[in-house]
Amino acid sequence: EPETDREPETDREPETGSEPETGSEPERAPAPDLPITPDSVLVVSGGARGVTATALRALAADRPRMLLTGRTALADEPEFLASAHDEPSLTRALAERERSDGGAAPTPSQLAARARTILARREVRATLADLERAGATVRYATLDITDRAALHRELGRVRREWGPVTGLIHAAGVLADKLIADKTDDQFDRVYSTKVAGLSALLDATASDPLELLCVFSSVAARYGNPGQCDYAMGNEVLNQVACAEQRRRPSCRVRAIGWGPWEAGMVTASHAAYFKDLGVPLIPLGEGARAFATELGTAGGATQVLLAAAGTRDGGILTTGPSGLFAEATVDAHTHAFLADHAPADVPVLPLAMAMEWFAAAGRSRYPDRSTFLTDIRVLNRIELPDLATRGHRFTVEGTGAEHDPGAFDLRLTSSTGAVHYRARLTAPSTPPQLWTPPEAMGVTFTQESSYEDPVLFHGPDFQVLREVKGLSRHGAEARVVGVRAIGWPGGPWWTDPAAIDGALQAAVLWARHATGDATLPMGVDALRVHRAGPAPGTLRCLVRATALAADQSRCDIALLDEDGEVRTELLGVGLIRRPDLAPAHAPSSDAGPASLARPA
pLDDT in tens, 63-72: 999 999 999 8
**Do the Cβ atoms of 449 and 511 come closer than 8 Å?**
no
Lowest-pLDDT choice from 153-167, 180-194, 583-597: 583-597
Q: How far apart are CA 79 and CA 86, in angstroms?
A: 15
- pLDDT for position 21: 40
Ramachandran angles phi, psi of 70, nearest 5°: -170, 170
**Do the Cβ atoms of 69 and 7 come closer than 8 Å?**
no
Indicate the fold that domain 447-598 takes in CATH. Answer: Thiol Ester Dehydrase; Chain A (3.10.129)
- pLDDT for position 254: 93
Burial of 274 (0-12, 13-18, 19+ CB in 10 A): exposed
Per-residue pLDDT band at 588 (split at 50, 70, 90): low
Asked if pLDDT for residue 161 goes beyond 90, the answer is yes
Model pTM score? 0.56
Per-residue pLDDT band at 294 (split at 50, 70, 90): confident
Q: How far apart are CA 5 and CA 174, in angstroms?
A: 5
The correct answer on CATH 3.60.15.10 for the domain covering 41-310 is: no
**Do the Cβ atoms of 45 and 172 come closer than 8 Å?**
yes
Question: Tell me: the pLDDT tens digits for 463-492?
Answer: 999 999 999 999 999 999 999 999 999 987
Q: Which of 19-28, 118-127, 204-213 has the highest mean pLDDT?
A: 204-213
Per-residue pLDDT band at 270 (split at 50, 70, 90): low
Q: How far apart are CA 526 and CA 380, in angstroms?
A: 9
- pLDDT for position 2: 28
Per-residue pLDDT band at 7 (split at 50, 70, 90): very low
Asked if pLDDT for residue 97 goes beyond 80, the answer is yes
Domain coordinates in residue numbering, the chain: 41-310, 447-598
- pLDDT for position 23: 41
Q: Which residues, in sequence order, are CB contacts of 288 under 8 Å at separation 6+? A: 310, 321, 322
Which residue in 230, 218, 389 sits closest to 304, CA to CA? Answer: 218
Asked if pLDDT for residue 600 goes beyond 60, the answer is no
**Do the Cβ atoms of 479 and 505 come closer than 8 Å?**
no
- pLDDT for position 505: 97
Q: What is the DSSP annotation of 569-601?
A: EEEEEEEEEEEPTTS---SSPP-----GGGPPP
Cα four-point dihedral sign 405, 408, 411, 415: positive
- pLDDT for position 404: 72
3-state secondary structure of 288: helix
Question: Tell me: the pLDDT tens digits for 352-371?
Answer: 999 999 999 988 877 776 67
What pairing do the DSSP bridges indicate for beta strands 254-260 and 305-308?
A: parallel
Q: What percent of the chain has pLDDT over 70?
A: 86
Q: How far apart are CA 410 and CA 312, in angstroms?
A: 12
List the alpha helices (DSSP H) in 206-284.
221-224, 230-249, 270-279
What pairing do the DSSP bridges indicate for beta strands 137-142 and 65-70?
A: parallel
CA separation, residue 452 to residues 66, 323, 466, 482, 590 (Å): 58, 46, 10, 12, 18
- pLDDT for position 232: 94
Cα four-point dihedral sign 527, 426, 334, 345: positive
Average pLDDT, the chain: 84
Give the side-chain half-sphere CA count within 13 A for 35: 23
- pLDDT for position 334: 85
Question: Tell me: the pLDDT tens digits for 522-580?
Answer: 999 999 999 999 999 999 999 999 999 987 678 999 999 999 999 999 999 999 999 98
Q: How many CB atoms lie within 10 A of CB 25?
A: 17
Q: What percent of the chain has pLDDT over 90?
A: 49
Which residue in 226, 312, 301 sits closest to 277, CA to CA? Answer: 312
- Residues 127-152, mean pLDDT to the nearest whole number: 94
Question: Tell me: the pLDDT tens digits for 339-355?
Answer: 999 999 888 999 999 99
Asked if pLDDT for residue 597 goes beyond 70, the answer is no
CA separation, residue 132 to residues 126, 139, 168, 170 (Å): 10, 10, 19, 20
- Residues 138-142, mean pLDDT to the nearest whole number: 95
- What is the 3 state secondary structure string of 291-318? HHHHHHHCCCCCCCEEEECCCCEEECCE
- Residues 260-284, mean pLDDT to the nearest whole number: 72
Question: Tell me: the pLDDT tens digits for 236-265?
Answer: 999 999 998 999 899 899 999 999 988 886
Number of separate helices (H) and strands (E) present in the chain: 13, 21
Q: How far apart are CA 185 and CA 449, in angstroms?
A: 63
The angle, 0 to 180 degrees and rounded to 10, between the axes of the packed helices 148-162 and 185-205 is: 30
The angle, 0 to 180 degrees and rounded to 10, between the axes of the packed helices 108-134 and 50-57 is: 10
- pLDDT for position 364: 82
Lowest-pLDDT choice from 9-13, 30-34, 89-93, 423-427: 9-13
Q: How many CB atoms lie within 10 A of CB 141?
A: 17
Give the helix, strand, coil percentages of the chain, each rounded to 5: 35, 25, 45
Q: How far apart are CA 55 and CA 223, in angstroms?
A: 22
Higher per-residue confidence, 438 vs 322: 438
